[in-house]
Amino acid sequence: MSQYVVCPKCGTRIKAGRAHCLRCLADLPAPDQPIIPPIWESLGLSRQQQMLVVGAASVLAIALMVLIWRTAPESVDETVQPVVAAASARPAAAPPQPEAEPASAPAVVAPSASPKSAAVVDANRTGASEYARGNLDASRTAYEQALAAKPDDAETLNNLGQVLVRLNKPGDAIPRFERAIELMPEKSAFHFNLGFAAAQLNQWDRAIAAYRDALKLFPTDYATQYNLAMALHKKGDERGAIPEFEKAIALAPGEASFHLSLGMSLERLGRTADAVREYRTYLEMDPSSADAGRLKEHVVTLAARGEGKSSAS
**pLDDT digits 0-9 by tens, 199-243:** 999 999 999 999 999 999 999 999 999 999 999 999 999 999 999
The mean per-residue pLDDT over the stretch 132-143 comes to: 95
CA distances from 118 to 40, 123, 232 (A): 17, 9, 43
Residue 66 burial (10 A CB sphere; 0-12, 13-18, 19+): exposed
Assigned CATH class of 4-38+90-253: mainly alpha
Q: pLDDT digits over 52-69, tens only?
A: 544 554 444 444 333 333
Residue 27 phi, psi (nearest 5): -65, 140
Sketch the domain layout of the chain as residue ranges.
4-38+90-253
Of 34-38, 105-109, 296-300, the poorest mean pLDDT is in 34-38
Sorted by sequence, the CB contacts under 8 Å of residue 134 that are 6+ apart come out as: none
Q: What is the pTM of this model?
A: 0.66
Per the DSSP assignment, residues forming a β-bridge with 14 are: 5
Structure-derived torsion over alpha carbons of residues 245, 250, 252, 256, reported in degrees to the nearest 10: 60
Residue 9's nearest CA partner among 157, 23, 83 is 23
